[in-house]
């Protein structure tokens, strides 16, 4: 399977990450990749991440930072919408309770 075939099989939201990380992983030897994969499941995620970042180029690190910032922005927008929906629900329930008291 080629790199492009593997990336094409990834879920849509993971494709950009696969496009960035797969070339980084492929710089390792088969032994290094095997060791990383065997240890990654048992090590803290930050340590696995550090091992990956060490071998990234400056351009790859910048690209990843941009992707992370975009994802954080999306998550913040989603959270703001959720908080607003919760606030609206809360005050509509309060209004119904107050209106029910007056009946």
Range of the domain at 42: 3-56
- Tell me if 103 is assigned to some domain: no
- Tell me if 75 is assigned to some domain: no
Please report how the helices 45-54 and 30-40 are oriented relative to each other, as an axis angle in degrees rounded to 10. Answer: 160
- Tell me if 26 is assigned to some domain: yes
- Tell me if 41 is assigned to some domain: yes
- Tell me if 64 is assigned to some domain: no
- Tell me if 63 is assigned to some domain: no
Count of structural domains, the chain: 1
Mean pLDDT of 66-73: 92
The per-residue pLDDT of the chain, averaged, comes to 88
- Tell me if 83 is assigned to some domain: no
Contacts of 23 (CB under 8 A, 6+ apart): 3, 60
- Tell me if 96 is assigned to some domain: no
* pLDDT tens-digit series, residues 5-51: 888 888 888 899 889 988 888 889 989 888 888 888 888 888 888 88
Q: In whole angstroms, what is the distance from residue 52 CA to residue 67 CA?
A: 16
Flag whether pLDDT at 102 surpasses 80. no
């Amino acid at each position: 399977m080629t790199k492009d075939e593997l990336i094409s099989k990834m879920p849509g939201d993971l494709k950009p990450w696969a496009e960035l990380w797969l070339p980084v992983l492929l710089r390792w030897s088969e032994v290094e990749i095997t060791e990383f994969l065997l240890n990654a499941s048992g090590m803290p995620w930050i340590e696995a991440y550090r091992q990956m970042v060490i071998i990234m180029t400056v351009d790859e690190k910048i690209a990843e930072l941009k992707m992370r910032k975009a994802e954080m922005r999306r998550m913040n927008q989603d959270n703001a919408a959720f908080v607003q929906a919760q606030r609206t629900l809360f005050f509509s329930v309060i209004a119904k309770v107050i209106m029910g008291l007056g009946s």
